Structure formats: C-alpha cells, structure tokens
Amino acid sequence: MQEEEARQGFTPEMIDMMASIWTRSIITLIDVRFQNVASQYPLEQYKMPSSMFIYAYGGEAQIQLNETTFAMERFGLIHGGKGSLLSITPKGEIVETFMVFYRAESPLFFKKHLQQLLEQVNPFVQQFGYTPSNPILLRDWFQRMMNGWKRGKAMDQLQAKSFFYHLIHEVYRDLEGGEIRYLQPDPACSAKKYLDKHYREPIMFQQIADMFGISGGQLTRLFKKREGMNLQEYLIQRRIEAACHDLKHTEATVKEIATGAGFADEKNLFRMFKKHYKMTPSDYRKINALSMQVDGIDNDSQLNYDERELASLVKSYRDGESIMFGSLRSKEMILAAAISMMMLLTACTSGTPANNGGTVNTTPAQTQQTTQQEGAETGASEAVSQTRTITTVKGDVEVPNNPQRVVVDYLVGDVVALGVTPLGVARAARGEMEPVYANQITDSVKVAMEPEDIMTLEPDLIILAWSDESYDDLSKIAPTIYVPYGDMTTEERIHFISDVLNKQEEAKAVLNAYNGKIEESKLAFQNAGLSDVKITVGEFSDKSNYIAGAKHAVGELVYNELQLQAPPKVQTDIIDADKYWGDVSMEVLPAYSGDYMIFLGDGNVAADNAVWNSIPAVQHDRIVKVDSSLSWSTDVMTSSALIDYIVSQLLALAK
C-alpha cells in the first residue's frame, strides 16, 4: 500500500512540476561526505542540518527518517528535508554511505512563480526511498562528486555540482519510469520504536498497524518473528522495566509508579510483578534497597545497571523460584537472606559509637508519612494477593477474589445477570443486533477479541466462550477462563461463572427465577394443550433450510428445557445423531415439519413456493418468527427473554 501511495505521489505531471522547480531554483552544495556505519556503532537520530540525499550500499540495513523505518537490502537512495531525524542500523557488520548536503533558494525574479509551484509540491523536503535502477552508476557519481568537493578548488567543486545535477536527473528519470522498487517501511521495527517512545501512554495496536496499511494480526506476526514476542508482551516488558527503575531510584508510591509506567492502576502493576517475578513491587523495592546498602558496605562488589536490570537481577524460574544475583534460590532462601541483611544492618546501627558526637532524629511527621505509605502499599498488596483457584478444562487458573475489569466475549448476559457490568464486550455482543441486556452495557467498550485490543483495556479477568483459539495469547494478558458452554447446561454454566466472579448468592437467585419461569411455561403449555404438539426449529429460505437439533441454542431451550417434542424425522436424523443442525432441501422439508415452526433469523421464503405452502404449519399460520437478537446466544438473560417470547407466541397461536 505504501508503494502504491508513493507511485501516486510521483505521477508524470508531478515529476515535471518538480523538475521545473529544480531548474528555476538556486542550489548550493554545502557538503559531500562518506561514512562507514558499523553495526556496533549505528547512526542514531542524526538531525539533518539541510536537505540531504543519502546513498547506502554494501548490505542490509534499516534506515529511519523521523517515524518511518525503511528496509534496505543491498542499495538504497534516501531523500529527506532539513530537520529530519536520520538513523542507519546495519544488519550485517557494515554499510557504506554517501551523504550530500544542499540548500535550495529561489531567485527574486522567479519568486512568485516558484512560490505557486512550491505550494503544490516541495521536492526539497520530500521524504522517499527506493532502490535505484543503476546503482553502480550512482555510486560512481557520488564518489566523483565527493572527490571533487574534497579537493576544494573552484573548478573541482563546479564539477561536483554538475554531478549533483546528473544525480537529480537520474533520480527523476527513475521515478518517472516507474520500474523501481520503493523501499518499504519496516512495520515491526517502526512499531518497536513507537512502543519504546510511547509505552507510558495508552496504546492501540491497530492504530500502529494503520500507519502501514496492514491488519493488526499481520503486524503482530511480523513483530513476533522479529522480536520473539508479541506486541503486548513487549509493551508489558517495557512498562515493567520502567516501573523497576522507578522503584529502585525514586521515592514515589507504587500507585504513582504504576501510572507513570503506563499501567491502568497499581493493581495491574502488582499482578504483573507477581506473574513475572514472583514478588510484589514493594518486595522488589525492599530487596533492592538492601542490596544497595550491602554494596555501599562492600565497594568491591557492585551490580552494574544496564537498563534491563531485571534480566540479571530477578528472573522467573519454574513456579515459585527466582534467579537472583546470578544464583538460583528458593523463596525461603530469599526471605532468609533479606532478614539476615536487616538484622546485620540493625546491629550495625543500633548502638552509639564512642566517637559519635550526635544522633539522627526522625520527626513524628516523617514517621507518620512513612508508616502511612507502607501501610497503603501493604494493603494494596494484600488486596491483590487475595485470589482463588478455579479448575477449568484448561487447567487451574488463579483469579482475583472480586474482579473489577472483566472482558467477556460471548456470554455477556450471564455476567450481567450476576450483577457484573463488563469493562469490555465482544463486538458480536454489541453489533447491529440489540441484545436484551443493551441498557446494562452502555458503558462497556466494544472490542475485537484480539490480544492487542484487549491489552489496551488492562483487564483483571477475561471470560472466553466463543472459541479457545486465542486462549494462550489472552491468558498472557490477564487470568483467562474458558467456558465450554456447548457442553454445559444453563444451570452448570451459571454456577461455574458465579464461582469465577465470586457471585454464588446471585447465582442462586438467577437460577431460581429462571427455573421458575421454565416450570410456569411448561404448565402453561399443558393447560393450552401444547404438551404433545411437534415443534420444528430452523432457518428457512428458498435455497436452503437448516433444522436445529438439541445442541443448537434455541433447540436446546425448546427440546431440553421447555421439553417440547420434535417431529420424528428431526428426532432421529438430527437430535439422536447429536447434530447441531441438519441441512434439508425444500423438497423433503415437509417430512421434518411439525405442528408449529419456529422460524429463526431474517431469512425469507417466496410467497409462491409450492412446497413451503403445502406444509400444514404454514397453511394454518402456526409460524413463530424469532429475530437474531433473541436467537444468537445461550446466555441466561437472552434465553429468559426468548422463553417469554416463544411461550406468548405459541399460546396466542394455540387460541
């Protein structure tokens, strides 16, 4: 997409206009340089003092102009305007570069005309990069240009300027020919630089992907291939590194550090610390305070700070163990070492040395402030550490006692019924359909269930039911519970989700009301003489018909919960065969049709369809139409509303 946009920016008309500007402008060569850029000493964030052409060759490299990173394979010609930030990072050992600095001015008698042209396009500040059609010729011109410039004589510098004009002509001839390959931005590298710069801010990964005209999933794949981790893992790592630095080197509170590092709140920081380093931020601060004091006593042993101190100071190693100071130690050993250090320091400072002529006093205000801060941090740590273990089909998952930031993909109605308003809901739950719980989720964020999107919400719990394909990625963001809703009854599912949300009492009330409605409905059917009628549930149209079985959301409700009967063919061919639904042609549809038909969705059958019109339920207008808002989900709120609707419609038709 970027290449197509670049081609559109260099149409024959635009190139002719830019050539006219070059012809009418006064060009002053400022300098011509040659530089070897080594991989261990890359050129970083060089602010260009003038407009520049950069010709690089000799191997692969990443060339960055401002926020855009270009991937160069063997040769690359880059142009940028004054003030642009230039970085060159070789992928191999070295990349050779020529740099031409120039300034363009307009003569007085051409000023008005040139100004009109420059308002349309300014070639002196344009940013572009491409692989030249004749790289060897360009290299020769750059070399001869530099040789003439360095000799310093007027005739030699005049020759250098002539080669510069040869260069401009060759560049525009390449652009006009359209056969060149534009240097494409490197999305993974640019995304990394963007995260390094903006990690303290709220991040929307799709917005980064939009810069390159690719999908969020494609950006994630490119980034993971390059960095060995996905976007949210890298973002978490950067934020934790920032928090670690602040914990070691500032007196800020944990809440202030969490906010400053980009976390939604201190609870999120606590959870990430416990997950990655098996300790709380306060514990990390205390341990590092002790190690710094010990370093002060023994100056022969120092820990070097390399801006990634956690990589060497503390690493998670199996469950419940840490690598600290380069050695493997258990939690008990860490605690014992910390206590020993504290006792040693206390012994060193508790006595009054003979030569000590004074004492250090702590004011009551300082003592109170310290106590309050430690108390607040301890309270927060205890609140976050209050978790429960839930056994799931994916294994045991540790969840917070009272989750506050819940994201749900499918069973939103179950969560809402239990008294929890989700922070985020899947787009399917808030798309064009108007769910029955719409008023309860007006403040919920509509989100795609992609890790990059969910990451921005900083959830403390994710409930996944629609598909488990993204379970592994989502579980790296927050505790994730997979609900195999198709294998659970409504009662089993509500009890399970209530255990996850710690809403057991609410679950009893919800199920009592739901089961009471089921019993009332069955009694109403019995009184209306509908207990023995045959019901067909499906989606119908002239082209295809899908007959629901008992595994279908509506089929389960009709056949299993309301205990209405299916026609014999539906029972044997679909329900007994344990099918979600069966694909039935219009010609054989009458054999699957019952006394009443529950018509799902927005399909339509032609008014003159002879087979459809021959079905008794159609002839006697015993059709119950159910729109998508009531038939797409099995959650308890939608099911409850669907029961009310089906019962009222069937009773009305029975009269």
Cα–Cα distance between 512 and 516 in angstroms, integer? 6
Asked if 322 and 329 touch (Cβ cutoff 8 Å), the reply is yes
If you write DSSP's letter for every residue of 578-599 in order, what string do you get?
A: T-SEEEE-TTTHHHH--SEEEE
Q: Which domain holds residue 521?
A: 512-654
The verdict on residue 358 lying in a domain is no
- Shared domain for 221 and 243, answered yes or no, is no
Sign of CA dihedral 260, 264, 266, 272: negative
Half-sphere exposure of 391 (CA within 13 A, CB side): 0
The verdict on residue 374 lying in a domain is no
CATH number for the domain harbouring residue 609:
3.40.50.1980
Tally of domains in the chain? 5
- Shared domain for 433 and 546, answered yes or no, is no
Cα–Cα distance between 28 and 164 in angstroms, integer? 10
Q: For residue 263, which of 291, 232, 230, 299 has the smallest C-alpha distance?
A: 232
- Shared domain for 545 and 408, answered yes or no, is no
- Shared domain for 218 and 247, answered yes or no, is no
The verdict on residue 609 lying in a domain is yes
- Shared domain for 70 and 95, answered yes or no, is yes
The verdict on residue 148 lying in a domain is yes
- Shared domain for 199 and 172, answered yes or no, is no
pLDDT digits (tens, 9 = 90+) for 132-160: 888 898 899 999 999 999 988 999 999 99
pLDDT digits (tens, 9 = 90+) for 333-344: 444 444 444 444
Which run of H or of E encompasses 445?
strand 445-447
- Shared domain for 489 and 401, answered yes or no, is yes
Q: Which of 208-212, 503-507, 614-618 has the lowest mean pLDDT?
A: 208-212
Neighbours of 391 (CB within 10 A): 10
Residue 581 corresponds to which amino acid?
Answer: W
Beta strand segments in 174-222, E = 181-182
Which residue among 182, 199, 220 closes a domain?
A: 182
The verdict on residue 468 lying in a domain is yes
Nearest-5° Cα angle at 101, 135 to 66: 85
- Shared domain for 257 and 208, answered yes or no, is no
Which residue among 343, 377, 411 closes a domain?
A: 343
The verdict on residue 11 lying in a domain is yes
Longest dimension (CA), the chain: 112
- Shared domain for 462 and 571, answered yes or no, is no
The verdict on residue 606 lying in a domain is yes
pLDDT band at 292 (very low <50, low <70, confident <90, very high): low
pLDDT digits (tens, 9 = 90+) for 63-95: 888 777 778 888 999 998 888 889 999 988 899
Which residue among 198, 228, 258 closes a domain?
A: 228
- Shared domain for 424 and 465, answered yes or no, is yes
In this model, does residue 415 exceed pLDDT 50? yes
The verdict on residue 367 lying in a domain is no
Q: For residue 36, which of 93, 100, 75, 86 has the smallest C-alpha distance?
A: 93
Burial of 367 (0-12, 13-18, 19+ CB in 10 A): exposed
pLDDT digits (tens, 9 = 90+) for 498-541: 999 999 999 999 999 999 999 999 999 999 999 889 999 999 98
Alpha carbon 503 to chain centroid distance?
Answer: 29
The answer for residues whose C-beta is within 8 angstroms of residue 162's C-beta and 6 or more apart is none
Half-sphere exposure of 215 (CA within 13 A, CB side): 5
Q: For residue 277, which of 237, 337, 227 has the smallest C-alpha distance?
A: 237
Q: For residue 454, which of 229, 196, 204 has the smallest C-alpha distance?
A: 204
Answer yes or no: pTM beyond 0.85.
no
Q: How many residues belong to the chain?
A: 655
pLDDT digits (tens, 9 = 90+) for 620-645: 999 999 987 787 677 899 999 999 99
Please give the DSSP secondary-structure letter assigned to residue 351: S
In this model, does residue 329 exceed pLDDT 70? no
Pairing of strands 461-464, 480-482: parallel
Q: Go through 271-291 and write b for each residue having 16 or more CB atoms within 10 A of its CB, e for each that does not.
A: bbbbeebbbbbbbbbbbbebb
> Quick one: pLDDT at residue 91?
87
Asked if 429 and 408 touch (Cβ cutoff 8 Å), the reply is yes
The answer for residues whose C-beta is within 8 angstroms of residue 627's C-beta and 6 or more apart is 601, 602
- Shared domain for 135 and 216, answered yes or no, is no
- Shared domain for 203 and 127, answered yes or no, is no
Asked if 623 and 649 touch (Cβ cutoff 8 Å), the reply is no
